[in-house]
A = this chain, B = another copy of it.
Amino acid sequence: MMSLAERVLAGDSRAIARAISLIENEDPQAAALVRTIFGKTGRAYVIGVTGQPGAGKSTLVDRMTAEIRGRGHSVGVLTVDPSSPFSGGAVLGDRLRMQGHAADEGVFIRSMATRGHLGGLARATGDAALVLDAAGKDIIVIETVGVGQDEVDIIKTADVSILTLVPGTGDDVQALKAGIMEIADIFVVNKADREGADRLVSSIESNLTLQTYGPDQWRPLILKTIATNGTGVTELVDAIWKFRSHSEATQSARRQERSAFRLRELVAKRFMDHLELGVLRPGELEAMVERVAAREIDPYTAADELLALGLTRAEGL
């Protein structure tokens, strides 16, 4: 009988789904799986798509997926919703969509939602992308909702970042103002048949003008799309390909930076597991929290005491 890792490496869709579920649930088997498959990863190209709710990202990703499939590549899609920390399930709409690809073996689609402290969702998304990579998907599309720190962290998992904006929502200027611009390699003005599309393009353009780009540096492209009827989607995929060949030299540095970020988060998580599951006695953390609540101790001193416990009681390891 084949192991789960072997089945993932063979590209078995049910094994991929099972592996991602283990990752979502932070099952101990998930880490073991990632350890096993990790050597077979690093081949896939990862596209990140973000933007506010209502920007039409899902439809856009659908169309992009069809276009990329049409060019002969297999595709894995992860839709990530950091704003559903409490629901614990994926967004229904995402599950119902993309039915057009359901019969296509070359497309794997999955929604992710998970609680998770300490960058848990970004870590889970990164691991799920490794699974798709190991399973032989050429292109991985990660779609996130919103433009907060979480989305930024998730988008950092990507080789290319696409920010989707919509004319006339008023959100756009704020999104631009808010510094999210700096993570976008490609801007997409979706619903470009709406009033204000050209104005939005100009406002992105004038923002870009404020930046300085070196001669070899990528200057973000701005594209207009109408995802609902497919307008501009071919050009978008062309732009992604263009970015990919432009950034071949810098891609490994970007992946390295991402890898350092993830490694730091993972080490922090491991220490907390060590502390809470291996070192502290039941109720010890809660007792410290109560002392903080009673103002008997301040949080920084409390943290130092817990850290000292985690370090000194490590001897028995």
Q: Which residues of chain A have a CB within 8 Å of any CB of chain B?
A: 31, 34-35, 38-39, 41-42, 52-54, 81-87, 91-93, 113, 117-119, 121, 145-152, 169-171, 174-175, 177-180, 182-183, 252, 255-256, 259-272, 274-276, 285-286, 288-290, 292-293, 295, 298-304, 306-308, 310-312, 314, 317
Contacts A86-B183, A267-B306, A267-B310 supplied; 15 other A-B pairs, CB < 8 Å = A35-B300, A52-B53, A83-B178, A85-B149, A118-B268, A121-B149, A148-B151, A150-B150, A256-B290, A263-B302, A267-B275, A268-B269, A271-B271, A308-B317, A311-B311
With a CB–CB cut-off of 8 A, which chain B residues contact A272? 264, 267-268, 271
Are B118 and A180 in touch, CB under 8 angstroms? no
Are A307 and B178 in touch, CB under 8 angstroms? no
Are A86 and B53 in touch, CB under 8 angstroms? no
Q: List 17 A-B contacts (CB under 8 A).
A: A54-B170, A82-B149, A83-B175, A83-B179, A87-B182, A113-B179, A121-B149, A146-B146, A148-B148, A256-B293, A260-B286, A263-B299, A264-B285, A268-B269, A270-B304, A270-B307, A311-B314
Determine chain A's interface SS by DSSP, over half rule. Answer: helix
With a CB–CB cut-off of 8 A, which chain B residues contact A121? 149
Closest 9 pairs (CB-CB, A-B): A148-B148, A87-B179, A38-B298, A84-B179, A53-B174, A311-B314, A266-B303, A268-B268, A54-B170
With a CB–CB cut-off of 8 A, which chain B residues contact A256? 289-290, 293
